[in-house]
Amino acid sequence: MRTGSALLPLIRGLALSGLIALPAFAAANDVTVYTTREPKLIQPLIEEFTKDTGVKVNTVFVKDGLIERVRTEGEKSPADILMTVDIGNLLDLVEAGVTQPVESKVLQEAIPKNLRGSDNQWYTLSLRDRVAYVAADLKVDAITYEAFADPRWKGKVCIRSGQHPYNTALIAAMIAHNGAEATEAWLRNLKNNLARKAAGGDRDVARDILGGICDIGLANAYYVGHMKNAEPGTDARKWGDAIKVVRPTFASADGQGTHVNISGAAVARHSPNRDNAVKLLEYLVSDKAQNLYAKANYEYPVKAGVTLDPVVESFGPLKVDSLPLTEIAKHRKQASELVDKVGFNN
């Protein structure tokens, strides 16, 4: 017969798989974060929060089925905070009814209005700007998103799958700015400019620029922070050194801003430790935590005035597209349909 201590690893494994709930292992004062991001990405922030407040944070990685898990657990769910990337995923949580509003002066003063829910159900914690990777020796210092469809770039553009959330969000923003008809034409012309099939990841865009397959591409800026800060001589460093970052704007937009996606969070509807959950969210937008975001993950801070990693700072100031993220999210389904309609990934 197994002893109690011998059973603990098995029980913890079941808890993390969602087959049983976690409360037995969470002290009354703990905060439990369900995250679709690898917990190690936010671990430095979590450790500092615990050090400063004494509140322990349990992180549970939920790769898929976050909504279903929280719904199944219902009122007994140990989840205090639900954390995810991509505005669409965050709004899906709200629409599923698994979050609750949080009135917080700290959050509202730190986070711009277009980067939080008007009903206070969700908050942005960091930004992921969708930028141009440009061959380092190419004389391109400014570009619009629309220009990626220009015949000048025929056979010279690399990009990951059009159905990836990073790209469907960008396409949705293009629809919001220019309309569906113009966006369809843009997608068709962009497809004609591809140097290879739309596939792989954002780092692969830099790899293929180094390999001479393409001259430019669309990808997230924070990957460049990882690549250019990698050890000299590694593949990642070589890819990073082969490119420079140019922040595109929308040609038709009044504010001439760059498209961003986000990492963000919401307080779970049945949070058993709501006060500490709010305390953690407020901590994550503090100067200290935002500095850690900027230096650990190379994501752009949501709070103004935070010191950036030197590589990220070298990209120049980020002026965020003023279009509300909720407006972009409205067009996600239409964006996905356009990708299939033009056979973008074929």
Structural tokens at position 86: 């991509």
DSSP 290-341: HHHHHHHT-PEESSTTPPPPHHHHTT----B--S-HHHHHTTHHHHHHHHHH
Residue type, 103: E
| Cα distance between residue 289 and residue 276, in whole Å | 16
Estimate to the nearest angstrom the gap between the alpha carbon of 175 and the chain centroid.
20
| Cα distance between residue 185 and residue 199, in whole Å | 21
Give the other-Cβ count within 10 Å of 320's Cβ. Answer: 18
**C-alpha pair distances (Å), 78 with each of 9, 75, 282, 331:** 19, 9, 20, 33
| Cα distance between residue 12 and residue 22, in whole Å | 8
H/E segment holding residue 207 = helix 202-210
Contact status, residue 75 vs residue 107, Cβ threshold 8 Å:
no
Q: Is 222 annotated as a binding residue?
A: yes
Burial class (CB in 10 A: 0-12, 13-18, 19+), 174: buried
Contact status, residue 323 vs residue 173, Cβ threshold 8 Å:
yes
In the chain the first and final C-alpha atoms are separated, in Å, by: 57
Binding-site entries = 222-223
The binding site for Fe cation consists of 222-223
